[in-house]
Chains A and B, each alone.
Chain A
């Protein structure tokens, strides 16, 4: 019986840790601020375990019987904790309240387990052996759980089903205990029946968990989600598959680390290399710091002003090790200044002059973003352009959204600018388009910074050539009071997806 008993200790300990990890992960996933969430969840959990241990002294009789019931209860509460928390977050305002209530209940139950077990077996072993064995297996179980959780459980099963699986393990231990401690139990049939009911319930839960987590995310993001948060402005998700890091803003792919160099080199170099002695550069959008990384390759550039709406975005790309590796810590450069502001009002109120302006906004998927692709906006931006400078605009795909691309070109023209459209192939996006605009003739540069992987003087000519399937279309300019671009863009993509 010995080893079997200690295996249940191990399992019980693993369950206890899993619930704690599930609660901590869910809290930081849903609410954000993972340091705070994990600290408080673990602290509360441990404190509640202490309360449970203290309460164990009030249990005098029927120790084995009580132990089975505690296991069952924990199986139910812990097993459904993850699902309950997700529902609580979705449908109530009291997520935190429910979170800590659950953590306390689970902590108390877990805190009761080991003292009860020790007392149940105390007559079979020497006291010092009981302590040594129980605690050894307790810690072993914790180690196992802490390794299983990030490596196997979360990626394979997800949080909801992981919790339910361990709920079943708790219930399994309860069932097992009815045999293990049969001598100390009465009414074992009733107990076993209860165990089976709980097991079936949790099993059904695992089978149907998809319905609980049928948040769109499961379908959208094919890869492992390594970071997700709701900032004030957008839903930000970072995924990884092997060495491919992808950023999604409101479910729209922003870059894939495998080929983003193509996009960002093409965004920056054809224009910036054509500006003689560029000293001051403005980036509108581009909070990922990837355009800034390319701009920092020009030693003449003295200042980069990056205006991005979302402080959480620029903070993330200034601090997350994987992301700062990707953008070469560009956002931390002393030459770069981050301003978290709404672009149009900022452009309107600021008076600085720039030699190169990068406009890298999300595609015009709604009327709010559409304002950033209007004649009025480009007029306001052009006022910041020095005589020798250029503006470059991310202009969606001339292949998939051909009308939209040429509409943006026409809008820049309407704002009194000369335009030089070009395109580039980015595997994760497809054909992508940019438009250079300025008040003077664009002459293709012959020299680029060293070390570029895509843009070269020789290859530049072909970027400015549009094959017939992407060639210019006559489109009206996009204005605030017409917002033709948003409607055009919607139609363009509708045509593709049907």
Chain B
């Protein structure tokens, strides 16, 4: 083909323009930390290898999330070292796992702990141990830096997540009235963390209706107020207010003093706590050990993981309860344990995108988005100059039935979630696609136990704590609320019970 001079000039100038225009960036990534394959092996009763080896320990802890790690922390702190902790994944931490790239460490799930109140004695003890609480003072560099939370609404930003701009007098009256109601519940002393220390049967009626229903009965109908209540339930429970026990909804707002200090947080979120715990108990942990059967007896229990039988005098079961029916023979069928499916994603940013004039904040939420927004991992960095960062994007799949949403997590490919996430962010950060170089997505079918209607005062839950003399359940499922403080409380409690029995 002979190229005419004009045509050549035309083509080359077109190429010149094309080269110099800003082109769409390639975004890498994929699914990470998938663990449902292992869960499905259990569910489908796959054949596991017979035990070829026997190991004996006075105590075996199953599960290396915060509950299991806290049990281990308490055991070692009391000078008891003859135990093993079995963790299914290669990385311990459960919902307090973390990741790291060349810019920063970042969380995979839980990313903060509210400043614990006086009742959360174990949490305070842990934080003293970790240097977070010193002489009654919270270490400044572990409190969330300012600016902390921001909400994007009506094309602008506001500080804080509770809607404060564009409120009608009716909205204001309802927010105030609700705050007064919560203050009353707070004063009653029944809404505590840990939950077990305050829970009173006089509030049992609140557990029989949904939070949405309770709000309706109290005459709350402000759109912004209901959005905020739903946001709170999605954020802490992965559920809509309509699927949350009213008791739990009230607990969210009435269990903590109105803090002025802001939560405790770290670049890797609660992964920081996991790291510090691993420094203390790491030598007792075996990772990649999927427990596939637990056989209790009168004098102890056998825990089968891989081809090893761990013979224990006591087992601390710190894995999620939904696994129990697949691990124990003749385990009663569970009805009051609903789990919320979640999706988290970590976005590696080569630069900060346009943010409509705002400086980066710690936690960013969009009004009326189905997602929970994102947290900036470098916000807790002490550096003054930050040009790259990681955002952790949170999405509780709260709308619809958990089983359907779990199927959705399995069915949709990475591209689907990538586009959904970018689409959500694009409503504010218009050039986000030019700034992101990688999106890793973590799917969690059973991310957290859900305080569904009737679950806080459930008999099933009560029975679980007396399941077997030699097998102690220790996880936040015992509370029905999946928060750090509850997981830690039950882990420490179980360890103390075991120590009391072992050492008399």
Residue ranges of A at the interface with B (Cβ–Cβ < 8 Å): 88, 92-95, 97-98, 101, 232-233, 309, 342-345, 348, 366-372, 374-376, 479-483, 486
Q: How far is the CA of A372 from the CA of B383 in the complex (A)?
A: 9
Distance from A210 Cβ to chain B, minimum over Cβ atoms (Å)? 25
Chain A residue contacts of B262, Cβ below 8 A: 481
Judge whether B141 and A480 touch: CB under 8 Å: yes
Judge whether B20 and A97 touch: CB under 8 Å: yes
> Is B298 an interface residue, CB under 8 A from the partner?
no
> Is B143 an interface residue, CB under 8 A from the partner?
yes
Distance from B3 Cβ to chain A, minimum over Cβ atoms (Å)? 19
Chain B residue contacts of A92, Cβ below 8 A: 20-22
Which residues of B in the span 258-275 have a Cβ within 8 Å of any Cβ on A? 261-262
Q: How far is the CA of A481 from the CA of B147 in the complex (A)?
A: 7
Question: Given A376-B140, A483-B145, are A97 and B16 neighbors across the interface (CB < 8 Å)?
Answer: yes
Q: How far is the CA of A98 from the CA of B383 in the complex (A)?
A: 37
Judge whether A368 and B385 touch: CB under 8 Å: yes
Chain B residue contacts of A344, Cβ below 8 A: 382-384
Q: How far is the CA of A294 from the CA of B145 in the complex (A)?
A: 36
**Dominant SS among interface residues on chain B:** loop
Q: How far is the CA of A327 from the CA of B151 in the complex (A)?
A: 48
Interchain residue pairs with CB less than 8 A apart (6): A94-B16, A345-B382, A479-B140, A481-B143, A481-B148, A482-B146
Q: How far is the CA of A94 from the CA of B148 in the complex (A)?
A: 38
For residue B18, which residue of chain A has the nearest CB? Answer: A94
Judge whether A376 and B141 touch: CB under 8 Å: yes
Q: How far is the CA of A88 from the CA of B387 in the complex (A)?
A: 24
Chain A residue contacts of B387, Cβ below 8 A: 232
> Is B386 an interface residue, CB under 8 A from the partner?
yes
Q: How far is the CA of A101 from the CA of B16 in the complex (A)?
A: 9
Question: Given A309-B385, A367-B359, A481-B261, are A98 and B16 neighbors across the interface (CB < 8 Å)?
Answer: yes
Q: How far is the CA of A482 from the CA of B140 in the complex (A)?
A: 10
| 8 A-B pairs with the lowest CB-CB distances in the bound complex, closest first | A94-B20, A483-B146, A344-B382, A481-B143, A376-B140, A92-B20, A342-B383, A368-B384
Judge whether A348 and B147 touch: CB under 8 Å: no
Question: Given A309-B385, A342-B383, are A480 and B143 neighbors across the interface (CB < 8 Å)?
Answer: yes
Question: Given A367-B147, A376-B140, A480-B143, are A94 and B385 neighbors across the interface (CB < 8 Å)?
Answer: no
Judge whether B141 and A97 touch: CB under 8 Å: no
Judge whether B146 and A343 touch: CB under 8 Å: no
Known: A94-B21, A366-B359. 17 other contacts (CB 8 A): A92-B21, A93-B20, A94-B16, A97-B20, A233-B385, A344-B384, A348-B382, A370-B146, A372-B384, A479-B143, A480-B140, A480-B146, A481-B140, A481-B143, A481-B144, A482-B146, A486-B146
Judge whether B19 and A94 touch: CB under 8 Å: yes
**Most chain B CB atoms below 10 A, which of A371, A376, A479, A480:** A480
**Most chain A CB atoms below 10 A, which of B20, B22, B262:** B20
Distance from B321 Cβ to chain A, minimum over Cβ atoms (Å)? 36
Distance from B185 Cβ to chain A, minimum over Cβ atoms (Å)? 27
What class of interface size applies to chain B in its complex with A?
20 to 34
Chain B residue contacts of A369, Cβ below 8 A: 384
Chain A residue contacts of B386, Cβ below 8 A: 368
Q: How far is the CA of A199 from the CA of B16 in the complex (A)?
A: 28
Chain B residue contacts of A97, Cβ below 8 A: 16, 19-20
| Bitwise interface map of B from 127 to 143 toward A, beta carbon under 8 Å scored 1, else 0 | 00000000000001101
Judge whether B19 and A481 touch: CB under 8 Å: no
Q: How far is the CA of A129 from the CA of B40 in the complex (A)?
A: 96
Distance from A90 Cβ to chain B, minimum over Cβ atoms (Å)? 12
Q: How far is the CA of A344 from the CA of B147 in the complex (A)?
A: 18
**Most chain A CB atoms below 10 A, which of B146, B147, B385, B387:** B146
Residue ranges of B at the interface with A (Cβ–Cβ < 8 Å): 16, 19-22, 140-141, 143-148, 261-262, 359-360, 382-387
Chain A residue contacts of B360, Cβ below 8 A: 367
Judge whether A371 and B382 touch: CB under 8 Å: yes
Chain B residue contacts of A342, Cβ below 8 A: 382-385
Chain A residue contacts of B143, Cβ below 8 A: 479-481
Chain A residue contacts of B146, Cβ below 8 A: 367, 370, 480-483, 486
Judge whether B16 and A483 touch: CB under 8 Å: no
Q: How far is the CA of A342 from the CA of B382 in the complex (A)?
A: 9
**Most chain A CB atoms below 10 A, which of B21, B140, B383, B387:** B140
Contacting residue for A371 out of B16, B20, B145, CB 8 A = B145
Distance from A287 Cβ to chain B, minimum over Cβ atoms (Å)? 13
Chain A residue contacts of B383, Cβ below 8 A: 342, 344-345
Chain B residue contacts of A481, Cβ below 8 A: 140, 143-146, 148, 261-262
Contacting residue for B22 out of A93, A367, A374, CB 8 A = A93
Distance from A82 Cβ to chain B, minimum over Cβ atoms (Å)? 17
Judge whether A375 and B19 touch: CB under 8 Å: no
Distance from A266 Cβ to chain B, minimum over Cβ atoms (Å)? 25
Distance from A59 Cβ to chain B, minimum over Cβ atoms (Å)? 15
For residue A374, which residue of chain B has the nearest CB? Answer: B140
Q: How far is the CA of A374 from the CA of B16 in the complex (A)?
A: 50
Distance from B364 Cβ to chain A, minimum over Cβ atoms (Å)? 14
Q: How far is the CA of A101 from the CA of B14 in the complex (A)?
A: 13
Q: How far is the CA of A348 from the CA of B262 in the complex (A)?
A: 23
Q: How far is the CA of A221 from the CA of B19 in the complex (A)?
A: 35
Q: How far is the CA of A155 from the CA of B140 in the complex (A)?
A: 51
For residue B382, which residue of chain A has the nearest CB? Answer: A344
Chain B residue contacts of A366, Cβ below 8 A: 359
Q: How far is the CA of A421 from the CA of B261 in the complex (A)?
A: 29
Q: How far is the CA of A343 from the CA of B141 in the complex (A)?
A: 15
Distance from B400 Cβ to chain A, minimum over Cβ atoms (Å)? 37
Q: How far is the CA of A418 from the CA of B54 in the complex (A)?
A: 65
Q: How far is the CA of A93 from the CA of B23 in the complex (A)?
A: 9
Judge whether A480 and B145 touch: CB under 8 Å: yes
Distance from A283 Cβ to chain B, minimum over Cβ atoms (Å)? 16
Q: How far is the CA of A344 from the CA of B145 in the complex (A)?
A: 14
Distance from A220 Cβ to chain B, minimum over Cβ atoms (Å)? 19
Q: How far is the CA of A391 from the CA of B144 in the complex (A)?
A: 27
Chain A residue contacts of B148, Cβ below 8 A: 481
Q: How far is the CA of A20 from the CA of B80 in the complex (A)?
A: 80
Q: How far is the CA of A481 from the CA of B144 in the complex (A)?
A: 5
Judge whether A309 and B382 touch: CB under 8 Å: no
For residue B362, which residue of chain A has the nearest CB? Answer: A481
Distance from A41 Cβ to chain B, minimum over Cβ atoms (Å)? 18
Judge whether B20 and A88 touch: CB under 8 Å: yes
Chain B residue contacts of A368, Cβ below 8 A: 359, 384-386
Question: Given A92-B21, A93-B22, A376-B140, are A483 and B147 neighbors across the interface (CB < 8 Å)?
Answer: yes
Distance from B55 Cβ to chain A, minimum over Cβ atoms (Å)? 42
Chain A residue contacts of B19, Cβ below 8 A: 94, 97
Chain A residue contacts of B20, Cβ below 8 A: 88, 92-95, 97-98
Distance from B352 Cβ to chain A, minimum over Cβ atoms (Å)? 11
Chain B residue contacts of A376, Cβ below 8 A: 140-141
Chain B residue contacts of A101, Cβ below 8 A: 16
Question: Given A94-B20, A233-B385, are A375 and B140 neighbors across the interface (CB < 8 Å)?
Answer: yes
Q: How far is the CA of A101 from the CA of B22 in the complex (A)?
A: 18
Distance from A494 Cβ to chain B, minimum over Cβ atoms (Å)? 16
Judge whether A309 and B384 touch: CB under 8 Å: yes
Q: How far is the CA of A371 from the CA of B262 in the complex (A)?
A: 17
Chain B residue contacts of A232, Cβ below 8 A: 387
Q: How far is the CA of A343 from the CA of B261 in the complex (A)?
A: 25
Q: How far is the CA of A92 from the CA of B16 in the complex (A)?
A: 11
For residue A88, which residue of chain B has the nearest CB? Answer: B20
Distance from A295 Cβ to chain B, minimum over Cβ atoms (Å)? 23
Q: How far is the CA of A233 from the CA of B387 in the complex (A)?
A: 9
Q: How far is the CA of A498 from the CA of B359 in the complex (A)?
A: 23
Distance from A490 Cβ to chain B, minimum over Cβ atoms (Å)? 11
Chain B residue contacts of A483, Cβ below 8 A: 145-147
